[in-house]
């Protein structure tokens, strides 16, 4: 049986968490769509784009490094915490300094205050106990379930309360702030070991050295995932950006609800059996097949019933998202299937493979996003995203064959 039983249990817990959070997200989105207008979603979209960009730009690969370690990670916790704190402080300062230029770039002065507000989030997150990753590393997904669900519930509750009272895009940030503070508290109350301010240069160098490919792949992934959002926001404005982001959220359900769930579980499992090629190959094939079937079914439902989904759940203000959802639903299925290889590459220490294949996707998007968006609007942006993922396939096949050859 090996790790099969643990894998099934882990997937069950994470899948249940996803279902719970998506139901809450759906209810929250339906409610907020009636409290806020698309342009306010777009304003928060700009702020969240910037936060995500700086997070991946400074990604240290700490979590990946800790999971890849075959022995106890206790000796690295103090150094990992210091790295995280410094990273969070640098992130927050960078966002504050660049906020006026970002607002000017998007021609959205309303976003300036929201960007300044969201800058506090990475600073707070920097203090999270890095030992929290042991829940994933040691396959303790039942604990991960209760931790993440409680944080998400608080986040959602705060967002809705502030949206009711202020009708402001800053409501989203209040939720993030509450969730970040709560996670810091929980990580110290319930997770062992607790870090101390103990800087060890050799350990920091080892963490940073192993994490450079994770940093690079994170940057490429951000550009590939958010480049279309940047183009839409710059070329078409905040209201179309809000519509596009909602369409993207629905269309990428096969990624977030299937691939992300399974990958979170199989990465530590693949790592534990990475020294057994035959066993690893069998596990990879079974996982990839399951993801392909599940993603295709979910993508087909989104494609066929996109008009009904939008009209019933979000209302008439969002009907222009329907054509984009149809295009991006195909994108979502392909990304879900292709993305399943990332856990394999990380498990065998080939972070550079992920960086290379994501770079190809970035090139595809860079070539097509501006001309297609200028000519066809939101639909053109959707086609650019679809093209970018299609040209990634040959490299994925090549690297997978190299691992098992």
DSSP 261-279: HHHHHHHHHHHHTTT-HHH
Structure tokens at 336: 């879900």
Q: Which candidate, 251, 260, 248, places its Cα nearest to that of 302?
A: 251
pTM beyond cutoff 0.95: no
**pLDDT of the residue at 83:** 86
Handedness of CA 19, 22, 23, 24 (dihedral sign): positive
> Cβ-count burial of 171 within 10 angstroms (0-12 exposed, 13-18 middle, 19+ buried)?
buried
Q: Which residues contact 225 (CB under 8 A, 6 or more apart)?
A: none
In tens digits, the chain (405 residues) has pLDDT values of 466 777 788 888 888 888 898 788 888 888 888 888 878 888 888 888 888 878 877 776 777 778 877 777 788 888 889 888 988 999 999 999 988 988 888 877 888 889 999 999 999 999 999 888 888 888 888 898 999 999 999 999 999 999 888 888 888 999 999 999 999 999 999 888 888 888 787 877 777 776 777 778 878 887 888 888 888 988 988 888 888 888 888 887 767 667 778 888 888 888 888 888 889 999 899 989 988 998 899 889 989 988 888 888 777 778 888 899 999 999 988 988 888 898 899 888 888 898 899 999 999 999 999 999 999 999 999 999 999 999 999 999 999 999 988
| Rg, C-alpha atoms of the chain | 21
**CA distances from residue 200 to 126, 196, 280 in whole angstroms, order as listed:** 18, 11, 35
**pLDDT of the residue at 187:** 93
Domain spans of the chain? 4-404
Q: Do the Cβ atoms of 354 and 346 come closer than 8 Å?
A: yes
Structure tokens at 266: 């199989």
Q: Do the Cβ atoms of 254 and 333 come closer than 8 Å?
A: yes
> What's the angle, vertex CA 339, arms to CA 310 and CA 219, rounded to 5?
95
**pLDDT of the residue at 2:** 61
Number of Cβ within 10 Å of residue 367's Cβ equals 14
CB crowding 67-79: b at 16 or more within 10 Å, else e: bbeeeebeebbbb
């Amino acid at each position: 049986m090996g790790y099969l039983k643990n894998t099934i249990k882990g997937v069950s817990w994470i899948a249940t968490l996803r279902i719970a959070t998506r139901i809450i997200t759906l209810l929250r989105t339906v409610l907020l769509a009636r409290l806020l207008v698309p342009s306010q979603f777009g304003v928060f979209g700009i702020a969240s784009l910037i936060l995500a960009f700086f997070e991946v730009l400074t990604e240290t690969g700490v979590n990946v490094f800790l999971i890849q370690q075959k022995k106890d990670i206790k000796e690295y916790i103090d150094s990992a915490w210091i790295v995280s704190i410094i990273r969070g402080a640098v992130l927050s300062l960078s966002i504050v300094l660049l906020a006026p230029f970002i607002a000017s770039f998007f021609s959205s002065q309303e976003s300036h205050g929201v960007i300044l507000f969201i800058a506090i989030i990475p600073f707070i997150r920097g203090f999270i106990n890095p030992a929290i990753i042991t829940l994933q590393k040691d396959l303790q997904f039942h604990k991960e379930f209760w931790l993440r669900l409680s944080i998400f519930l608080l986040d959602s509750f705060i967002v809705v309360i502030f949206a009711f009272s202020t009708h402001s895009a800053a409501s989203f940030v209040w939720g993030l702030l509450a969730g970040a503070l709560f996670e810091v508290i929980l990580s110290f109350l319930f997770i062992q070991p607790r870090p101390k301010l103990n800087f060890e240069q050799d350990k920091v160098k080892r963490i940073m050295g192993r994490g450079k490919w994770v940093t690079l792949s994170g940057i490429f992934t951000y550009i590939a995932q958010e480049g279309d959002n940047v183009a839409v926001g710059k070329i078409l404005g905040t209201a179309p950006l809000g519509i596009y982001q909602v369409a993207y959220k629905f269309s990428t359900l096969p990624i977030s609800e299937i691939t992300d769930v399974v990958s979170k579980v199989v990465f530590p499992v693949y790592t534990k059996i990475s020294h057994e090629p035959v066993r690893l190959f069998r596990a990879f094939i079974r996982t990839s097949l399951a993801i392909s079937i599940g993603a295709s079914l979910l993508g087909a439902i989104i494609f066929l019933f996109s008009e009904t989904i939008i009209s019933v759940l979000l209302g008439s203000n969002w009907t222009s998202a329907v054509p984009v959802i149809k295009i991006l639903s195909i994108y979502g299925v392909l990304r879900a299937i292709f993305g399943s290889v990332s856990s394999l590459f990380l498990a065998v220490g080939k972070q550079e493979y992920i960086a290379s294949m994501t770079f190809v996707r970035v090139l595809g998007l860079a070539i097509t996003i501006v001309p297609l968006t200028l000519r066809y609007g939101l639909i053109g942006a959707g086609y650019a995203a679809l093209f970018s993922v299609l040209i990634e396939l040959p490299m994925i096949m090549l690297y997978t064959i190299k691992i098992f050859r």
